[in-house]
Amino acid sequence: MTLSIDDAFLGQVGENIDRLITIDVMSYGVIGPLFEAARAVNGGTPLCLSAAARLIGRVKRGATVLLTTGFILPGHYPYGETDGPIGTAVLARALALGLGARVLVAVESELMSLNAALLRTAELQVISTEALAREAGQLRAVASVVELPREVQATRNRSATWMVEYGIEAVIAIEKPGANSLAVYHTVGGADISADVGKGQTLFEVARENGALTIGIGDRGNELGMGQIAATARALLPRGSACRCPCGRGVADETEADLTVCATVSNWGAYGIAACLAAMLEQPDLIQSPELEAALFETAVREGGVDGMTGRGSLSADGVALGVHVGIVHMLAEIYRGQSARNPSPFSTPLIRKGGSVPLTGR
Ligand SMILES: [Zn+2]
């Protein structure tokens, strides 16, 4: 059974999840305005719940979802960060187990082994692209990892082939370098990294040309798929509208996407969507266990991932310690349980009931 997004209880679950994953634990002052802008574009409807509802509507059993991730900086982060690939593995797991989707993960060549290891830790079978093309998606949770080229034309050609060969219905970016309207990719600090990164903007363009759903998950505004909130990011970020490279256009991503999801740590946006899939499909195990969350961090660090804030191979992401990430997972599971509404006791007087008619309103 699938619950409707109009269900009052689900609306409250979506609201709580959005609030949880956007708490500004590091006090950067960025996530609040970005989130408010994204919610406004989305008509005030919870972002993670909207993403889950659109995915359920689009991705039928055996269809393919393409995920792209990884903030690679050769010389600095040769195997990328812990933020991005971990959320990708969590969302891949939820899409495969919840929707019977085949998962294709497109990353730069240096990031392929780290992402394959994370997918395996997340209980997926990592198989060849040939096997994935034949897979009906009925019996087992499967994923393949493919190379996202650094050249624009190669990305365009390969993306177009993927769309057809695998029947891709949705493309989701999780903490992936984005590009401005001049197709220049930047760090949030304003450096041009175009030569070093896969051409995610081209991938999104091809996806949209082929009618696939596109979703961007980010935490600063320079990540792929933040186009809906580009004006806010340009005004908010120190280098938002004035970078440190000759392009002069600024670091805010201006790539068009159907939905932009903002979270304090990009991984949390992916967790939030997975939790909303769990709530809509009534499959609580689509939320990763605390043990799995810890195992994913251990895998990422073992495979060379580092904390993007410190550059250290520590069990942390964006400067936030593992215990907090595990705490977020505990909170998501508790929100799913929605004890008063799902299992009302004689001592509770829930205002919101599952299947109820309380109108969903913005915050
Ligand atoms: Zn620039």
- Cβ atoms of 203 and 159 within 8 Å: the answer is yes
Cα–Cα distance, 125 to 77 (Å, whole number): 27
Q: Which fold has domain 8-339?
A: inorganic pyrophosphatase (n-terminal core) (3.90.1640)
243: CA distance to ligand 1 center in Å?
A: 5
- Ligand 1 geometric centre to CA of 323 (Å): 36
Q: How many Å separate Cα 199 from the centre of its chain? A: 17
Distance CA(168)–CA(246), nearest Å, equals: 36
Closest CA to 305 of 74, 83, 67: 83
Distance of CA 8 to the CA centre of its chain: 25
* Model pLDDT, residue 363: 40
Report how far ligand 1's centroid is from the alpha carbon of 250 (Å).
5
Give the Å distance between the CA of 244 and the centre of ligand 1.
Answer: 6
Q: For the chain, give every domain's residue range.
A: 8-339
Q: How far is the CA of 193 from the centre of ligand 1 (A)?
A: 9
288 DSSP 8-state letter: P
**Predicted local confidence at residue 215, as pLDDT:** 98
Å from CA of 201 to ligand 1 middle: 15
Looking from the CA of 314 toward its CB, the CA atoms found within 13 Å total 14
**Residue-level pLDDT at 58:** 97
Find the 251 Cα to ligand 1 centroid distance in Å: 7
CA angle in degrees (0–180, nearest 5) for 103-230-198: 40
Protein residues placing their CB within 5 Å of the ion ligand 1: 184, 243, 245, 247
Distance of alpha carbon 183 from alpha carbon 301, whole angstroms:
31
Ligand 1 center–CA 188 separation, angstroms: 11
**Ligand 1 midpoint to CA 302 (Å):** 33
Under-70 pLDDT residues of the chain? 1, 3, 137-138, 357-363
Rounded distance between C-alpha atoms, residue 313 and residue 176, angstroms: 19
Give residue 231's identity as a one-letter amino acid code: A
Compute CA 161 distance to the chain's CA centroid, rounded to the nearest angstrom: 23
- Residue 239 Cα to ligand 1 middle (Å): 9
Sheet of 213-218, strand order: 125-126, 142-147, 102-107, 64-69, 168-174, 213-218, 259-262
Encoded amino acid at 329, one letter: V
Q: Is the pTM of this model over 0.85?
A: yes
- Residue 246 CA to ligand 1 center (angstroms) comes to 6
* Of 18, 34, 23, 25, nearest in space to 237 by CA: 34
Contacts of 283 (CB under 8 A, 6+ apart): 97, 98, 277
Look up residue 4 and give its two tokens.
Answer: 């409707």
Q: How far is the CA of 240 from the centre of ligand 1 (A)?
A: 10
Residue 96 Cα to ligand 1 midpoint, Å, equals: 38
Determine the angle formed by the axes of helices 8-21 and 266-281, rounding to 10 degrees.
160
